[in-house]
Amino acid sequence: MASMTAGQSGKLQSDNLDTNYTFALRALTTLFFMWGFITCLNDILIPHLKGIFDLSYSQAMLVQFCFFGAYFLVSVPAGFLVKRIGYQKGIVIGLVIAALGCAMFYPAASLMSYPVFLLALFVLASGITVLQVSANPYVSNLGPAKTASARLNLTQAFNALGTTVAPFFGALLILDHTATALSAAESADSVKLPYLLLASALLILAAVFAWLKLPDLKIDHAPDIVVVNPDASIWQYRHLVLGVIAIFVYVGAEVAIGSFLVSFLSLPDIAGLTEQTAAHYIAYYWGGAMVGRFIGAGLLHKIDAGKLLCFNAVMAMVLICIAIVSTGSIAMWAILFVGLCNSIMFPTIFSLAINQLKELTSQGSGLLCLAIVGGAIIPLLQGMLADEIGVQLAFILPVFCYGFIAYYGFFGARVMTPLAAAQQE
């Protein structure tokens, strides 16, 4: 009888733990939605600030440079911070920093200062970086290891939902107001309400996550990497090194295309749309990526990951080339459908790049995350091209990016260990 009672007690504790984990996972989906939402708002902000401050395309792309540059600069310090204070406190601090960045849009608009806008974006992105460093591993550890990928895919779906919804929010509260503004100062004021609303939402979330009794998952304070072979070097793995480059150019190409969509669709030869109307079409680009994730998840069970990656990259190249050489609705829909091709690229490149790294997997993952800085560099380069040769022809840069990804999927992702490489030589 006693053993039966103990068994029932153990089952009850297990049920309570499962309930707590399920509740925590549901709460965390709001975070993934929010940072997808905020990141996609940059695509609305770029043409908006370009018009207010009469910027060149390269100057306007400093929005993405400051935003994604924060990922590169803050991710390592954020990792140390989260190790010190824990996942839940890291989430709260990330939300507060992001809220501060949103609130800084108010003085930036009041001062009519582009540098202050860029500083606000950097602070905002720093908060989101802390949030990601805290939330991603927390979700991974929030249950059995064998279902970690499924949990991350679920939360990433809400991230994609945020990127799909954000263009409608931005068009309604920012660009629609700008269309009726009588001066640049009034146009700048249009960002105050949306970003104050976001700051309020983030602070409410911070308060909620500070109050919630989430499962206390312990962080391993041991070194991230246990090197079994002291002579092993992460740079000896060709498929990882090429994977880092592939992540760099993928994130850069995806962000660059999204950043130029409003300007591209506003061209008289393409669609001649107003900025507020063009903003709604950004949802098709990011929504296509969301739909493609579900399609790709099924196809990856039947098709080799490298081959599917190569196919998607080649299709992206074809679609962009069509957008460059054609006009009207053909060019418009060709560039929007690139979003569908993007869908599986990041997780597929990531998984191929860390394949068979063994004890160096953690170090390899860190390098791949730092490669997200491509979202800062590639859009800036495309902005410089747009200033020289025009918006439409500047899309040639993403063509080369996807060309490298096609090469990586077809050939570069093949695992070649240092020993095999030495034997081949």
**Residue 243 confidence (pLDDT):** 93
114: Cβ contacts below 8 Å, ≥ 6 apart: 49, 53, 55, 59
Rounded to the nearest angstrom, the gap between the alpha carbon of residue 7 and the centroid of all alpha carbons in its chain is 45
**One-letter amino acid of 65:** F
CB 375 within 8 A of CB 53: no
The CA distances from residue 18 to 6, 12, 115, 311, in Å, are 18, 10, 48, 40
DSSP helix/strand/coil, 344: coil
**Residue 422 confidence (pLDDT):** 47
168: Cβ contacts below 8 Å, ≥ 6 apart: 279, 280, 283
Other CB atoms closer than 10 Å to residue 70's CB: what's the count? 24
**Residue 181 confidence (pLDDT):** 66
CA atoms within 13 A on the CB side of 413: 26
pLDDT single digits (tens) 347-401: 889 888 888 887 777 788 788 888 999 999 999 999 999 999 999 999 999 999 9
Other CB atoms closer than 10 Å to residue 178's CB: what's the count? 21
- The encoded tokens of residue 305 equal 């990951």
CB 104 within 8 A of CB 125: no
The CA distances from residue 385 to 34, 65, 171, 356, 388, in Å, are 32, 15, 27, 39, 5
Q: Whole-prediction pTM value?
A: 0.85
CB 62 within 8 A of CB 152: no
Residue whose C-alpha is closest to residue 275's, from 176, 401, 190: 176
Burial of 365 (0-12, 13-18, 19+ CB in 10 A): middle
- The encoded tokens of residue 220 equal 């391993």
The CA distances from residue 218 to 10, 26, 88, in Å, are 21, 20, 11
Residue 87 and residue 28: Cα distance in Å, rounded?
12
Low-confidence ranges of the chain (pLDDT < 50): 1-2, 4, 6-17, 221-231, 419, 421-423, 425
**Residue 150 confidence (pLDDT):** 57
**Residue 19 confidence (pLDDT):** 55
User: Would you give the DSSP letter of residue 64?
Assistant: H
Residue whose C-alpha is closest to residue 386's, from 209, 267, 214: 267
Q: What is the DSSP string of 34-58?
A: HHHHHHHHHHHHHHHHHHHHT--HH
Residue 22 and residue 147: Cα distance in Å, rounded?
13
The CA distances from residue 44 to 66, 125, 141, 277, in Å, are 16, 16, 35, 11
